[in-house]
Structure 1
Amino acid sequence: MMGGNQLHRTDWISAFPFDTRCFVPAGDTIIGDGCWIGSRAMIMQGVKLGEGAIVATGAVVTKDVPPYAVVAGVPAQIMKYRFSPDAIQKLLSARIYDLDEKVLLKIRENLQSDNVDALIEFLQNHTA
């Protein structure tokens, strides 16, 4: 669910949007590759979810979420990161989501693991 109905201006006498002059753009919402968004979560306008981010069920995300972070709550806060900072940099550098479908099929066993180094090694040895 996208949040942030920008048509209801609380600074006007009537908060009802009689016409489109009320609209205040807040920017594009960007959902990175590999994100998981729990049910009934609300992502506000202009927020960016980094690659691999996880948004907990019912969370209200009002700020950008870094890659591979897990956020929860109202407003959403970072609870933890899925991997170490070093592993996150390796994953981002690997550009997994830009790989050809055939390569993704080759690495699916590595993707179903928490061993980032094994994935990077496989990619270096089998996709060059």
Structure 2
Amino acid sequence: MNKILLALTAGLLGPALAATPAYTKAQADAGAKVYKAQCAACHGAKLNNGGAPKLAGTDFLKKWSQNTLDDFFFIESHTMPQTNPGGLKESEYLNALAYILQENGFKPGKDALAVKNLKSYTFKK
């Protein structure tokens, strides 16, 4: 009975975070191109070997595991690229995020990553 009550209460308090972020392989492929053109010069070709903060690996995942993808997207889309903050299309920022997810071991699926869903996902595996 307590487990049922807890489940019902949790459902009333807000939506649960989805375990795995949804993005497509096409988004990640497009994001790889955006990343190479707009991000790699500072963050490195492997997302963790440039002078800018790492975007892949254990430290990155640990740092961002308590935040939603929406939090990351906000920073990404308002402060990057450093030479033109906020200068990319929304789809380019989403695709770059899909590429970052892929490079951190998250698997693509059939549903595209969309701004409206970013609050539902974290970098937690």
Relative to the length of structure 1, the TM-score reads: 0.23
Structure exhibiting the larger radius of gyration computed from Cα positions: 1
Q: Structure with the greater relative contact order (CA < 8 A, sep ≥ 6): 1 or 2?
A: 2
Higher helix fraction (1 or 2)? 2
Relative to the length of structure 2, the TM-score reads: 0.23
Higher strand fraction (1 or 2)? 1
